[in-house]
């Protein structure tokens, strides 16, 4: 089949597998590598040193360093539900309210590649990633016509907003590339910068992970800096604030084709934080099996829960927090000490 027909067939199969947005770009080196290097030199990757290795940087500089046979890069987007308010529970980033997207999307990318190879009757050189590979995936998505990088550093699509996961397939086939997005459509809007409670958005298009609630509640393994704790609100895993306030994410509007595995689990929509603080290791592992939340580990998750209870300032939480002062993990004990002190200070004044 010719390139046009093959491109159309691959896109159709991708949509069928749960990727309503799919675009094609070339295997050219990225244009924004210098910007990325400046971001690293500023220390904005925090403790995520795996981003800044020599091997990682070399591979990010040219797709052919990853797959020498690469002729085309497919960029695919899969939507997840927009954030929904919790009643009792602490806030959890919307993407994390059900199954871990990595495993689900990897399964679908594998099926897409199997289909393509079945069409040819032989192996096709490929390498695919779900938010984990040494590629500048948002630049690739812009080049493939999926959207633009917003001031909050997320990829934004005019119809779908920014609530979607990105995946990429480096492919040893020549397809017809899509027209790139060369403009940004944020205009003069600065809602994301103005609303970020910790000041993580240092300037448009620049995120300092050291101050980002998502980083602090997920990737950061130590105590949360004192100066940031009271600004974190009741986020216990991730943060959606800079997306919630974005005008391109319209309240009440949700993609009609969200996979069942990404629909929110009801028990995570109404968490009782005081009960959550008492989770044993076994209970934590069972509760979050297959969930992104497991990445924070029990000690990080309960650290976040304790800080959220402190920020809520509810005196009814004091018995649970005082019990946590004897937790097996020093990280949890220290967070509980802060929360008890914060509640007492703000209820006595």
Rounded Cα distance between 98 and 80, Å, is 10
What angle in degrees, to the nearest 10, is found between the helix axes of 297-312 and 330-348? Answer: 0
Which residues, 6+ apart, have CB-to-CB distance to 328 below 8 Å?
A: none
* Catalytic-labelled residue, pool 28, 31, 41, 131: 131
* Cα end-to-end distance, the chain, whole Å: 75
Rounded Cα distance between 318 and 170, Å, is 53
Is 49 among the catalytic positions?
no
| CB-CB contact of 100 with 290 (8 Å) | yes
Taking the CA atoms of 141, 147, 149 and 152 in sequence, report the sign of the dihedral they define. Answer: negative
State both tokens at 116.
């393509």
Q: Show the beta-strand stretches assigned E in the chain.
A: 21-26, 72-79, 91-92, 126-129, 148-149, 155-156, 164-171, 201-203, 206-207, 235-237
Q: Which residues does the annotation mark as catalytic? A: 131
């Amino acid at each position: 089949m010719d390139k046009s027909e093959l491109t159309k067939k691959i896109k159709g199969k991708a949509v069928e597998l749960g990727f309503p947005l799919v675009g094609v770009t070339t295997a050219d080196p990225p244009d924004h590598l210098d910007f990325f290097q400046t971001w690293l030199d500023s220390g904005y990757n925090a403790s995520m040193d795996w981003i800044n290795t020599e091997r990682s940087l070399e591979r990010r500089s040219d797709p052919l360093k990853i797959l020498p046979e690469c002729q085309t890069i497919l960029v695919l987007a899969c939507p997840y539900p927009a954030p929904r308010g919790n009643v009792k529970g602490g806030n959890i980033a919307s993407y994390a309210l059900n199954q871990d997207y990595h495993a689900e999307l990897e399964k679908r990318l594998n099926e897409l590649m199997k289909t393509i190879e079945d069409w040819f009757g032989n192996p096709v050189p490929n390498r695919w990633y779900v938010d984990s590979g040494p590629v500048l995936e948002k630049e690739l998505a812009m080049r493939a016509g999926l959207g633009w990088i917003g001031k909050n550093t997320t990829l934004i699509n005019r119809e779908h907003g920014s609530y979607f996961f990105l995946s990429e397939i480096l492919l040893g086939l020549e397809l017809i590339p899509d027209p790139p997005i060369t403009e940004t459509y944020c205009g003069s809007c600065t809602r994301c910068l103005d609303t970020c409670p910790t000041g993580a958005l240092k300037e448009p298009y620049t995120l300092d992970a050291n101050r980002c609630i998502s980083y602090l509640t997920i990737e950061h393994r130590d105590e949360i800096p004192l100066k940031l704790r009271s600004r974190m609100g009741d986020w216990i895993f991730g943060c959606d604030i800079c997306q919630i306030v974005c005008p391109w994410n319209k309240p009440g509007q949700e993609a009609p084709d969200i996979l069942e595995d990404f629909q929110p689990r009801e028990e995570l929509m109404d968490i009782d934080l005081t009960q959550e603080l008492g989770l044993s290791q076994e209970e934590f592992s069972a509760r979050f099996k297959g969930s992104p939340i497991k990445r924070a580990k029990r000690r990080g998750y309960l650290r976040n829960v304790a800080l959220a209870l402190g920020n809520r300032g509810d005196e009814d939480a004091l018995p649970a927090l005082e019990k946590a002062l004897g937790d097996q993990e020093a990280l949890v004990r220290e967070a509980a000490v802060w929360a008890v002190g914060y509640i007492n200070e703000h209820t006595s004044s």
